[in-house]
Structure 1
Amino acid sequence: MSSSTSTSMSPLVLKNVKLVTPQGVLDEGWIRLADDRIEALGHGPIAASSGEGEIIDGAGGWVLPGFIDVHVHGGAGHDFMDADEEGLRAITKFHASHGTTGILATSLTASRDELTSVLDRVSQFMSTPMPYAQVLGVHFEGPFVSDQWKGAQNPDYILPPQPDWLEEWVSRYPGVIRIQTLAPEVDGALDYIERLDSHGIVPSCGHTDATYDQIIAAADRGLRHAVHTFNAMRPYHHREPGTVGAVLTDDRIIAEVIADGHHVHAAGIELLRRAKGPERVILVTDAMAAAGMPDGDYHLGELPVTMTCGVARLTNSGNLAGSTLTMIGALRHMVREIGVPIADASRMASGNPARQLGIDNVTGSIEVGKQADILLLSDQLEIERVWIGGQELELEY
């Protein structure tokens, strides 16, 4: 990952902050940014070599790595399924204003042509300067999922895995698909998982009726991700632990969770946290076009959605239809409602998704040499300033 917003920049020092690093929180911390990188950091008196350039007093606030949202369908009235360049800019601007510095454009279950169109538009957008959240690639959620657990996926386009589609996609758009979610129990899924893995694409389970044994068999073939854990998957039972039981207990699988207070009960999130530990949970928004918009009628792909009091549901069935969550909202929920330490919540929102995407050597944590994807939060965890590749975003926070 490299920020296309980065240019040569004057040194910038943030001081008097609580600095969240992989080693823990540095109180009375400071951090120096220069030429799109983190040049130095520490706590206590600022090193003499770090006193040049602009100095910002963080007033005791928090400095975190920018959030990386690996499962998000849209926002600000736009959907990745049909967003043009203007729509892509609107989505990435909205989520950047809430702390997201890296994003995977996430699809829905749709036709082959529609999914190819997503790849075409997103890959073109990725080749141009991106002034807001950096689009890191595409997450295909479907169409090779279970009709029984379709949730808000369109059943008209659900079908078994199609290896020839994948081969065409990776040939035409190399490196663009980063995650694909499927139901491991359907015909051909295990071979398809191996094929995904061989192309460097993260195989993910979701919208699935897989048994415990079927998930374990899939993990043996390369499965290592689970979308919106607990939602749209076979639940836990003490004699057949199901998809949920396998996700909770297999350390090879990194588990997403939508921490918005609607998709998963607080006790469910706490169970997930205890089972997986802070290094195997990823916070996602699963946000749809209505995120950042007033209550009303919207669409998720071709399906009508009604948002009431900020909660989006399919108009016809009442199923939850993605969310209107932001990443800063997810982090605050984990800290305030679940009681997760900020350092752990930050890892779930930044470090873990970076590691899952194989970009943790570049971004996802506050370390010297990493890309300066930095958030300054108030002591109350409100977004105050955002830097992507060392460039501050000119946004109304």
Structure 2
Amino acid sequence: MSISASHVTGAVTLSDARIVGPDGIHDGWLTIEDGRITHVGQGPAPRDGHSLGGRHVVPGFVDIHNHGGAGGSFPTGDQETARDAIALHQRHGTTTLVASLVSGPVPSLAAAASSLADLCEDGLLAGIHFEGPYISKDRCGAHDPGALRDPSPEEFAGLVKAGRGHVRMLTIAAELPGALDTIREAVASGVIAAIGHSDATFDQTRAGIEAGGTVATHLYNAMPALGHRAPGPIAALLEDERVTVELINDGFHVHPAMIKLAFDVAGPGRTALITDAMMATGLSDGIYQLGAMAVDVTNGQARLVEGGSIAGSTLTMDAAFRRAVREVGLTLPEAVQVTAATPARVLGLSDRLGTIAAGRFADLVVLSSDLEVDGVMRRGIWITEP
């Protein structure tokens, strides 16, 4: 299935908009030309435009941890179904998406990365994320335990090569033999090192951060709980100003109170909401696959058929945005920061996306009064026209 969109030719002005940025909300207008925002103003538009009727406009969502949707699973490397997954998430406002793989045999990971690199070169994906295989067997969650291995800088360099410059992130357990050298290799290769699926102590986690780890893969999940004598990775990741923490805000993975606790400590500038979505996203309950593992989705909650571990989510970023406002108590500007501006910064793309400003890509989401998606624009082209 191909991704379709409503093309916009020439300059277009969106008027009567409530424009939301990390620093506030203002009533105004914006002009778009050649896929970029050229002007942003307050008050009435200087020319006739497409009236948004006072609806909110937020930057397109940026999801840095996503395994698929609409029946497509990025770990398979299948391009046709990957396009279906991308299209689904675009309709829900995610205009920038990183494809996450799960642990598997190294040749299979390399082949999937090579295939998905084509979609990166087509501009449909913002990169590839290896979530494993260098993770803890004790904290592997929905990953195949038989595919896990100790980190190797040389082996990881081969995976980076297979991704042809499009590998953006590696999740790694900092306590494993070879982990610190592999983190250094990742950073030297321009890959974000994320600490997660880890049984590390507080000190081992800090060593991983000192080696170059700058992201916490889905904080709280697949790591030891906070302890008053054994604080573990959660405390080390939360307290360090160099680390951005991912959070799955679906009301199932993490209680809203713990989302709020992490937000209060890390602040909007160090918090990135993610979906961790898997292939069942957008589909009905049933049995699905995540890598080599069978997953039972019941009432929208994904768990392994064998053992019952949580196996990703069926979350979309617009739902995460709404929950951030309604359940966690974030303001709209704060919700924009954690769903767009902060993850864009993590990817090194703040100069191109994540905020509504002149010179940025025209990646926009139009929201109704109840924060439902009424329209999505990507690179100046309507995916869904309001």
TM-score category, normalised to shorter length = over 0.9
Q: CA deviation at 1:120?
A: 1.1
Q: How big is the shift at 1:7?
A: 8.4
Would you say the 8 A contact 1:20–1:63 is kept in 2?
Answer: yes
Q: Residue 227 of structure 1 is aligned with which of 217, 235, 250?
A: 217
- Per the TM alignment, residue 84 of structure 1 is displaced from its structure 2 partner at its CA by 2.1
- Paired residue secondary structure (1:81): helix
Deviation at 1:171, TM superposition (A): 3.2
Q: For 1:68-217, list aligned pairs within 5 A.
A: 68-128=62-122, 134-217=124-207
Give the root-mean-square deviation of aligned CA atoms.
Answer: 1.6
Instruction: State the match for 1:282 in structure 2.
Output: 272
Distance 1:126 1:270 in 2: 34
Please tell me the residue identity of whatever aligns with 2:377. W
C-alpha displacement at 1:85, in angstroms?
2.2
Moved more, 274-283 or 81-90: 81-90
Query: What CA distance in whole angstroms lies between the structure 1 residues aligned with 2:130 and 2:261?
Result: 27
CA distance in 2, matches of 1:248, 1:17: 36
Asked if the contact 1:94/1:292 (under 8 Å) is kept, the reply is yes
Q: TM-score, normalised by structure 2?
A: 0.96
Distance in 2 between residues matched to 1:62 and 1:394, nearest whole Å: 15
Q: Residue 6 of structure 1 contacts residue 390 of structure 1 at CA under 8 Å; is this kept in 2? A: no
Matched letter for residue 29 of structure 1: G
CA distance in 1, matches of 2:6, 2:158: 33
Aligned residue type for 2:41:
G
Query: Any conservation in 1 of the 2:15–2:52 contact (CA below 8 Å)?
Result: yes
**1:372 maps to 2:371:** no
Q: Is 1:336 the counterpart of 2:326 in the alignment?
A: yes
Q: Please give the alpha-carbon distance, in whole angstroms, between the structure 1 residues aligned to 2:147 and 2:37.
A: 45
- 1:10 paired residue number: 10
1:19 maps to: 19
Instruction: Establish whether residue 65 from structure 1 lines up as the match of residue 55 from structure 2.
Output: no
Report if the CA contact (8 A) 2:68-2:277 is conserved: yes
Aligned to 1:43: 42
Measure how far apart 1:394 and its partner are.
Answer: 4.8
Residue identity opposite 2:69 in structure 1: G
What does residue 31 of structure 2 align with?
Answer: 32
Return the offset for 1:23: 2.8
On the 8 A contact 2:270/2:342 being kept in 1, the answer is yes
1:304-315 counterparts in 2 under 5 A? 304-315=294-305
Distance 1:38 1:354 in 2: 17
Residue 318 of structure 1 deviates from its aligned partner by 1.1
Measure the CA separation in 1 of the matches of 2:247 and 2:168. Answer: 18
Helix, strand or coil: the match of 2:359?
Answer: coil
Q: Does the 8 A contact of 2:23 with 2:333 survive in 1?
A: no
Aligned length: 382
> How far off its partner does 1:56 sit?
1.7
Moved runs in structure 1, 4+ residues, more than 4 A? 5-8
Counterparts in 2 of 1:234-249, with a 5 A limit? 234-249=224-239
Alignment counterpart, residue 389 of structure 1, candidates 369, 379, 385: 379
What fraction of aligned residue pairs are identical, expressed as a percent?
38
Which SS does the other structure have where 2:213 is aligned?
A: coil
Larger deviation: 161-170 or 268-277? 161-170
CA 1:215–1:6: 2 relative to 1, 3 Å: farther
CA distance in 2, matches of 1:7, 1:259: 33
User: How is 1:354-373 mapped onto 2 (pairs within 5 angstroms)?
Assistant: 354-373=344-363
Name the SS for the 1:338 alignment partner.
Answer: coil
The letter for the 1-side match of 2:331 is P
- Cα offset for 1:22? 3.5
Question: Per-residue deviation at 1:32?
Answer: 1.1
2:186 and 2:79 mapped to 1: Cα distance?
28
Task: Using the TM superposition, give the Cα deviation of residue 246 of structure 1 relative to its aligned residue in structure 2, in angstroms.
Answer: 0.8
**1:358 Cα offset (Å):** 0.5
Query: Are the equivalent residues in 2 in contact too, given 1:98–1:328 (CA < 8 A)?
Result: yes
Question: Cα distance, 1:301 vs. partner?
Answer: 0.9
Q: Using the alignment, how far apart are the partners of 1:277 and 1:109 within structure 2?
A: 31
DSSP-derived class of the 1:269 partner? helix
Give a deviation string over 1:159-184, Cα, whole Å, max 9, x none. 10122222223334332110000100
Secondary structure of 1:239's aligned partner? coil
Matched residues in 2 for 1:225 and 1:154: separation? 23
What are the superposed Cα offsets for residues 221-274 of structure 1, whole Å, 9 maximum, x if unpaired? 111001111000122111121011111211111000000000001110010010
Asked whether the 8 Å contact 1:205–1:227 carries over to 2, the reply is yes
Aligned to 1:252: 242
Distance apart, 1:6 and its partner CA: 11
- Deviations for 1:299-342, whole angstroms, at most 9, x for unmatched residues? 11111111111111111111111000000000001001111001
